[in-house]
Amino acid sequence: MRYRAVSVALVALAVSGCGLVGGGEGAGSRGSERNVNMQQASDRADEILDATLAAVRPGVEARRGPSTDGICTDFKNDATGAGQVVRRRYVVTVISPERRGSFVGVVERHWKAQGYEITAVRPSKEMPAIFANAPEGFQLTVKIGYKGQVFFSVGSNCVTESEVVEPDREPFDPDSPEATGLPYIESPFWSAGTPVPSPSGGAG
């Protein structure tokens, strides 16, 4: 089960190097959304992730990461029969240290344009991160970890428990460079070893 092992490794990478500043990955328990079930929350999380990645220009290659579906207890509202979902993406395009701040900046601007609340920022050249809340009760994270691995996650608050269909993922080749869990696709823009030029310099 090498695929499962790599999935576990990716989760470990996502957790390692977090150094969170006032925020974290995954779902919270700050209130339940009982009019939404786990499948609906999963679908919405995927929509948020897809829209976020689509906002990155030039585009990058990304894969679905391991999903998390589980039961939660909302102590504040004493919600029962409730669950939470977390959906993930990881980027296999190499983002150079010089352009990682610009990358998360693109994501931050997109999230603000959608009306999402930025709750924390990790200002680091090597491992920057942004944390946000969406009005629908989702917690959003983009963070850059070891060797520039970019991780996205969207987690729900407590929602009505339901069956959840695991999203399709592309077939995985354990002998490919992707098996390392690290980015491997070079981008003329995002992998460049220079900072992104200012707009006045004519760069995009």
Q: What is the pLDDT of residues 1-17, one digit of tens each?
A: 433 333 334 433 433 33
Indicate the Cα dihedral angle 149, 107, 171, 7, nearest 10°.
Answer: 50
Of residues 134, 130, 135, the one with CA closest to residue 107: 130
The domain total for the chain is: 1
**Sign of the CA dihedral running 34, 38, 44, 49:** positive
In terms of residue numbers, what domain contains 50?
Answer: 2-193
Question: For residue 7, which of 50, 68, 94 has the smallest C-alpha distance?
Answer: 68
Q: Is there a domain that residue 126 lies in?
A: yes
Q: Note whether residue 199 is domain-resident.
A: no
pTM score: 0.79
* Residue in this structure with the two tokens 């070079």, named with its chain if needed: 186
Give mean pLDDT, residues 191-204. 72
On whether residue 204 sits in a domain, the answer given is: no
What CATH number has the domain bearing residue 174?
3.30.2030
The reply to whether 198 falls in a domain is no
- The Cα–Cα gap between 45 and 173 comes to 26
